[in-house]
Amino acid sequence: MRISSCFVLPVGEEDMNLLRQPTSRRAFLTSSLAVGAGALGAGLLEAGAGEVAAEGGITQGDADILRFLSALETLETDFWQQYNELGGVQDSEVQGGSGSPTYTAALQVLDGDMPQYIHDNTEDEFTHFTFINAYLVAQGKQSVNLDRFRTLPSSKAKGAQKIKRLTNLMQLTVDTSWYTRYRSRTKNPDFGDSFPQAVPDLNNGQFPAIPRSDKDLAPKNHLQAIANTAGFHFATIEQGGSSLYPSLAQRVTSPEVLRILISIGPTETMHFQTWMDKAGNAPPLTDPTNGLTFPDLNSPPFGGEDFQTNLIMPEPTIFLDRKFPVCSIVRPTETAGAAEGAVAFLTRDGLFRGQSSEFFAFLNDLARRADAAQRAR
Ligand SMILES: [Fe+2]
């Protein structure tokens, strides 16, 4: 399936000039993303996966992996931006929004530093997609532009920018099984194992992780449930990134592209561990408006080492083959189908509720291409 060239940034002199200039990230985005499709862009799309560039550039397979990662990082940036506008630190590094003091206070129940961590995570994601796009252009490959899919509404709460978004944080279905997956000493998803949910309700409904409007700022336990949902969602997303990078790294060809993946990937893991710690601080409660319950993870039927909230480092578990001793690892890291699996996971998460069929077609095509990439020998 060929990517429609109208979705894709061409590699033109204008892009390269932007990369050479010490311009601001925001200026790069607003300028470069407005460029239309060109002949060179169409030509590059003809290259097959794994095809080696003629003049020492990266393979098309490596570009396909990077393009998929660029898209996901763009999507991550979009929703982290929404969190930052309402609950983070709005400053020159992460601009936009003016904060919701009441929502921010609810987040700070999980940790007083939540606004700073949200800010830093947002900035990191911004740099990830901006860097990957710039690297692709420098290698004569297309960067990725999702701007045409910015169609979803913003929160109506005071403090949020009223602009169109790529992602939806107001109807999430949050898979919290990472909480037990990283605490298991005997199971690994790469062996086909599944794991119980820490917050079963979150995995079985649609819940906001940001206030949809200022009406969501009360009653108190309703707002705290929204903040708790955010706290678990942060970790759900970042554990996904922690797995995705090592999964895809196994199929890249260029040592430099490998370096990119194994340098960005661990920052996702730094995020994940931070958020795993904060999610453990989410106060047990029931939202009086919808029944969403956050259990006390230190009490039966939870509790024990699998659930204790201060366990934020991975328990060692089975890896590669049961004949080996257990090992403390990121899990899963199976490479087959990793990109398409990530899209399916994020779709089920609800982040893309309301998105167009064109959006899903484009994202799934990027994922298919990334999963078709093979390491050239
Ligand atoms: Fe990232």
pLDDT in tens, 124-169: 999 999 999 999 999 999 999 999 999 999 999 999 999 999 999 9
pLDDT of residue 301: 82
Q: What is the mean pLDDT of residues 260-268?
A: 98
Q: Which whole number is the average pLDDT over 51-58?
A: 59
- Give distance in angstroms: CA of 304 to centre of ligand 1: 32
The answer to whether position 377 is within a domain reads no
Whether the link from the prior residue into 115 is cis, omega within 30° of 0, is no
Query: Residue 56's pLDDT band (boundaries 50, 70, 90)?
Result: low
The answer to whether the beta carbons of residues 313 and 228 sit under 8 Å apart is no
Residue 149 and residue 264 in contact, taking contact as beta carbons nearer than 8 Å: no
pLDDT at 82 over 50: yes
User: Using 50, 70 and 90 to split pLDDT, how confident is the model at 94?
Assistant: very high
30 C-alpha to ligand 1 centroid (Å):
20
Task: Tell me, yes or no, whether 333 lies in a domain.
Answer: yes
CA of 295 relative to ligand 1 center, distance in Å: 30
The range of the structural domain enclosing residue 330 comes to 5-372
Q: Could you tell me the distance, in angstroms and rounded to a whole number, from the CA of residue 221 to the centre of ligand 1?
A: 31
Ligand 1 centre distance from Cα of residue 73 (Å)? 5
Q: Tell me, yes or no, whether 85 lies in a domain.
A: yes
Ligand 1 centroid distance, CA of 218 (Å):
32
What pLDDT, on the 0 to 100 scale, is given for residue 22?
35
The burial class, CB within 10 Å (0-12 / 13-18 / 19+), for 46 is: exposed
- Please return the burial class of 251, using the count of CB atoms within 10 Å of its CB with bins 0-12, 13-18 and 19+: buried
What is the CA(354)–ligand 1 centre distance, in A?
23
Ligand 1 centroid vs 125 CA: distance in angstroms? 4
Number of other CB atoms surrounding residue 55 within 10 Å: 6
Cβ neighbours for 184, distance < 8 A, ≥ 6 positions apart: 193, 195, 306, 315, 317
How many secondary structure helices (H) and strands (E) does the chain include?
A: 11, 2
Contact criterion met (CB below 8 Å) for 63 and 335:
no
Centre of ligand 1 from the C-alpha of residue 215, in Å: 32
Comparing CA positions, the residue from 169, 176, 182 lying closest to residue 118 is 169
Q: Model pTM?
A: 0.86
Average pLDDT over residues 254-260: 98
pLDDT computed for residue 35 by the predictor: 29
CA of 240 to the centre of ligand 1 (A): 10
For ligand 1, the distance from its centroid to the CA atom of residue 339, given in whole angstroms, is 14
Q: What distance in Å separates the CA atoms of residue 172 and residue 160, rounded to the nearest whole number?
A: 18
Q: What percent of the chain has pLDDT over 70?
A: 85
Query: Is 241 domain-assigned?
Result: yes
pLDDT tens, residue by residue, 14-29: 333 333 333 333 333 3
* Percent of the chain whose pLDDT exceeds 90: 81
The reply to whether 107 falls in a domain is: yes
Tens digits of residue pLDDT in 285-311: 999 999 999 999 999 888 887 788 999
Instruction: Name beta bridge partners: 293.
Output: 286
- Whole-number mean pLDDT of the chain? 88
Ligand 1 centroid vs 72 CA: distance in angstroms?
8
pLDDT, one tens digit per residue, over 198-229 is: 999 999 999 999 999 999 999 999 999 999 99
Question: What separation in Å is there between the alpha carbon of 120 and the centre of ligand 1?
Answer: 11
pLDDT tens per residue across span 230-255: 999 999 999 999 999 999 999 999 99
**Helices assigned H by DSSP within the chain:** 13-20, 25-32, 39-45, 60-87, 101-107, 114-138, 178-181, 220-249, 255-279, 338-349, 357-372
Question: Considering the domain boundaries, does residue 196 fall inside one?
Answer: yes
Q: What is the mean pLDDT of residues 326-340?
A: 98
pLDDT at residue 45 in the model: 37
CA distances from 198 to 117, 209, 225, 306 (A): 23, 17, 15, 10
Q: Which amino acid is at 71?
A: A
* 274 vs 262: CA distance, rounded Å: 19
Query: Helix 60-87 and helix 255-279: axis angle, to 10°?
Result: 30
Ligand 1 midpoint to CA 91 (Å):
20
pLDDT at 304: 83
Q: What is the pLDDT of residue 55?
A: 53
| Number of domains composing the chain | 1
In this predicted model, what pLDDT tens digit does every residue of 336-372 receive, in sequence order? 999 999 999 999 999 999 999 999 999 999 999 999 9
Q: Which two tokens stand for residue 111?
A: 């940790």
Q: Give Cβ neighbours of residue 243 (< 8 Å, ≥ 6 apart).
A: 330, 331, 332, 333, 338
Residue 244 inside a domain? The answer is yes
